[in-house]
């Protein structure tokens, strides 16, 4: 059993569910495994081979299934590479290099090289948004456009709300369900399958506990590529108002969309992302 899981049974349950979800992908895909110094990285690839590349990075406690519906929309005009982050409950290596270092950018260098990608658009959600932003700061020459959904590292963590959601888990299955709803912001009955998946994942998975480094104003001012940031006004994880303010104040080509009545989990943005990427390509 990997140390990122709470038990062998939990690991099996998460991986079995993931493989079932992969088999139900809405468009034809390829599964590719890229060797890196951090271990093997699993990717799901779809879309026309000669189309412009985009790389999608999911958040903590997730895997490429976060992008299943969005990838179908994006794959109409893009070569989509959904990457399982290392150290998360996907099929990539369990490695967790420190966030306050160049290690994740060096890992992503190897992934892009292994996929045959020189420059690309990057799309990231939550922790994946932090990884994408960190890469854009460190490797701006390889990032043609940047799209971030509820990204970490810009607005302050909403520590009080996070703690409150975690305390709900003390109340058994009822509390675990309420905790997942509070953290994601998903309450619509149509999201029941997503909530089930998140609840099962966090029952068997140990998320990272280290604090996300915060990007400086100078880091944000150095982002010369077209940048789209989408946040929810009810995000329980990060201060979305501060995220929006800092992006508007400091990112030269930044555009911010604040979704009303939306929490941390931002789903169904495939068409919006596709339009942004087309406009960014010019």
pLDDT in tens, 149-196: 999 999 998 754 544 444 435 444 544 455 556 566 566 656 667 666
* pLDDT at position 177: 53
* pLDDT at position 194: 67
Q: Please tell me the distance from the alpha carbon of residue 6 to that of residue 11, in angstroms, as a whole number.
A: 8
Backbone angles phi, psi at 143, to 5 degrees: -115, 115
Q: Please tell me the distance from the alpha carbon of residue 72 to that of residue 21, in angstroms, as a whole number.
A: 14
* pLDDT at position 174: 41
Angle at 215 between CA 208 and CA 68, to 5 degrees: 55
pLDDT in tens, 92-111: 999 999 999 999 999 999 99
**Better-scored residue on pLDDT, 186 or 220:** 220
Residue range 242-263: average pLDDT? 96
Element (H or E) spanning 259, and its range?
strand 254-259
* pLDDT at position 178: 58
**Better-scored residue on pLDDT, 118 or 202:** 118
Alpha carbon distances (Å) from 131 to 48, 185, 189, 234, 243: 26, 22, 31, 22, 16
Helix, strand, coil percent values for the chain (each to nearest 5): 45, 20, 40
Contact 197, 20 (CB under 8 A): no
State CA 235 to chain mean position distance: 15
Indicate the average pLDDT of the chain: 89
**Better-scored residue on pLDDT, 55 or 267:** 55
* pLDDT at position 175: 45
Q: In what order do the strands lie in the sheet with 79-83?
A: 30-34, 41-46, 79-83, 53-57, 120-125, 143-149, 227-232, 254-259
* pLDDT at position 199: 73
- Among residues 173, 143, 122, 165, which one has the least CA distance to residue 265? 165
* pLDDT at position 195: 64
Residue range 83-94: average pLDDT? 97
Q: Please tell me the distance from the alpha carbon of residue 204 to that of residue 17, in angstroms, as a whole number.
A: 12
User: What domains are defined for the chain?
Assistant: 8-281 (3.40.50.1820)
Token readout for 104 is 């994740």
Quick one: pLDDT band at residue 197, thresholds 50, 70, 90? Answer: confident
**Better-scored residue on pLDDT, 179 or 227:** 227
- Among residues 164, 169, 161, 130, which one has the least CA distance to residue 148? 130
pTM given for the model: 0.92
């Amino acid at each position: 059993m990997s140390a990122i899981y709470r038990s062998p049974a939990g690991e099996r349950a998460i991986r079995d569910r993931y493989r079932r979800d992969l088999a139900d992908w809405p468009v034809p895909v390829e599964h590719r495994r890229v060797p890196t110094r951090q271990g093997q990285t699993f990717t799901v690839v779809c879309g026309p081979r000669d189309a412009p590349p985009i790389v999608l990075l999911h958040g903590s406690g997730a895997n490429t299934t976060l992008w299943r519906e969005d990838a179908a929309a994006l794959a109409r005009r893009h070569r989509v590479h959904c990457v399982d982050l290392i150290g998360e409950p996907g099929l990539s290596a369990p490695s967790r290099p420190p966030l306050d270092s160049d290690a994740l950018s060096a890992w992503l260098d190897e992934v892009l090289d292994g996929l045959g990608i020189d420059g690309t658009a990057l799309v990231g959600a939550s922790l994946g948004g932090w990884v994408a932003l960190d890469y854009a700061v460190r490797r701006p020459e390889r990032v043609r456009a940047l799209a971030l959904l509820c990204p970490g590292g810009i607005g302050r963590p909403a520590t009080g709300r996070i703690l409150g959601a975690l305390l709900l888990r003390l109340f058994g299955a009822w509390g675990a369900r309420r905790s997942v709803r509070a953290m994601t912001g998903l309450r619509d009955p149509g999201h029941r399958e997503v909530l089930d998946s998140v609840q099962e994942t966090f029952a068997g998975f140990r998320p990272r506990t280290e604090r996300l480094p915060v990007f400086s104003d100078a880091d944000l001012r150095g982002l010369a590529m077209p940048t789209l940031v989408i946040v929810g006004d009810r995000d329980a994880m990060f201060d979305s108002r501060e995220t929006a303010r800092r992006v508007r104040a400091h990112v030269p080509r930044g555009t911010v969309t604040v979704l009303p009545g939306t929490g941390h989990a931002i789903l169904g943005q495939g068409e919006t992302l596709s339009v942004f990427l087309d406009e960014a390509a010019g």
